[in-house]
Amino acid sequence: MSVTDERGGSESVGAGPGFTAGEVTVHRLPAELSKVTRTLRRTGRKVVLVPTMGALHEGHLELIRAARRVPNSVTVVSIFVNPLQFGPGEDFDSYPRTFEEDLRACEREGAELVFAPTRRDLYGDEPRTTIDAGEPGRELEGASRPGHFSGVLTVVAKLFNIVGPDLALFGEKDYQQLVLLRRMVRELDFPTEVQGIPIVREHDGLALSSRNRYLDERERAAALTLSAALAAGTHAGSRGADAVLAAAREVLDSEPMVELDYLWLCDPELGPAPEEGEARLLVAAKVGGTRLLDNALVELGPASRVEPAR
Ligand code: PAF
């Protein structure tokens, strides 16, 4: 593992410096990382970016594995706890920071490059130019966390400009984030494909999240209500949207420790739910002091049509 830095050259924290397959090289400075990925692209390699805020768990590792499966590619994992996407009173200061463990995980999974800028490296003085996700960024998560999606879109736009990825992978757990990022790429003409990777769950259904480590034993048990509610909702899909919401709501109401923020059924682009076909059921709730998100695909309407007998 090696850490390179334009200020101090290359500081080796393991094997020698430089780019070697099977070994991760950490860049802290945007200009340096840009230079490396530019060179790699010129040699015909595809650059695949996995943006993270660190505290890597199995869900992130699945993203890295998916990146590694892209033929003739190089995997860049960014690790940056982005202050812009945390509101006042949120958990920016206490957000888990496990940099050394994260680097070992990246190395184990075969990611070649890690981009880990400091706040100053990335933003310099406080940024004044930000990206506004528009009305869809002020709904659902955006309603409870004003400015959150502007922070997310701004940092991801910067990462795209610095890394120049052909492909960027994001977990479907943050479903609204994924939809808004796809929209940003489309509407602002980024030459990057954004791909969502299915949610990774614990054996009992809990969606993996870096914030799960805030949960004590009782809260963790209560948190299972979210995935159970989604399962109940999904199961009711053939009976239509109202039945889906009622089934999910009943499960959520059964657990007093769950403080529901929203339960929302929509089409895959966050528009109104269709009468029939593919929809998304989204839930956000606080359990103890921890805000958790989950979502699931729901098939609305008759699961299979019976052709009339002739
Ligand atoms: O999903 C996350 O971890 C963050 O929102 C992201 C996309 C890395 C931006 O900071």
* Residue that is last in its domain, among 144, 167, 197: 197
- Per-residue tokens: 127: 């940024």
What count of residues does the chain have? Answer: 310
Catalytic residue among 60, 148, 203, 235: 60
Q: Domains in the chain: how many in total? A: 2
Per DSSP (E only), the strands in 225-276 are: 258-266
Instruction: Tell how far CA 165 is from the center of its chain.
Output: 16
| Known active-site residue 60 | yes
- Label residue 233 left, alpha or beta by phi (over 0 means left) and psi (-120 to 50 means alpha): alpha
Domain with 243, as residue range(s), is 210-300
Structure confidence at residue 289 (pLDDT) = 93
Query: How far apart are the C-alpha atoms of 118 and 112, rounded to whole Å?
Result: 20
Mean pLDDT of the chain: 92
- Count Cβ neighbours within 10 Å for each residue of 58-85 and write b for 16 or more, e otherwise: ebbbbbbbbbbebeebbbbbbbbbbebb
Residue nearest to atom 8 of ligand 1 (CA): 52
Q: Tell which of 172, 197, 222 closes a domain.
A: 197
**Measuring from each residue's beta carbon to the nearest atom of ligand 1, which residues come in under 6 Å?**
51-53, 82, 85, 152, 155-156, 174, 177
Judgement on whether residues 77 and 109 belong to the same structural domain of the protein: yes
Q: The domain spanning residue 252 has which CATH number?
A: 3.30.1300.10
Collapsing DSSP states into helix, strand and coil, what is residue 281?
A: strand
Write out the chain's pLDDT in tens, 310 residues.
555 544 333 333 333 333 443 489 999 999 999 999 999 999 999 999 999 999 999 999 999 999 999 999 999 999 999 999 999 999 999 999 999 999 999 999 999 999 999 999 999 987 789 999 999 999 999 999 999 999 999 999 999 999 999 999 999 999 999 999 999 999 999 999 999 999 999 999 999 999 999 999 999 999 999 999 999 999 999 999 999 999 999 999 999 999 999 999 999 999 999 999 999 999 999 999 999 999 999 999 985 444 444 4
Residues 10 and 156 in one domain: yes
CATH of the domain at 14: 3.40.50.620
pTM for the full predicted model: 0.92
User: How does DSSP assign 185-208, residue by residue?
Assistant: HHHTT-S-EEEEEPPPB-TTSPBP
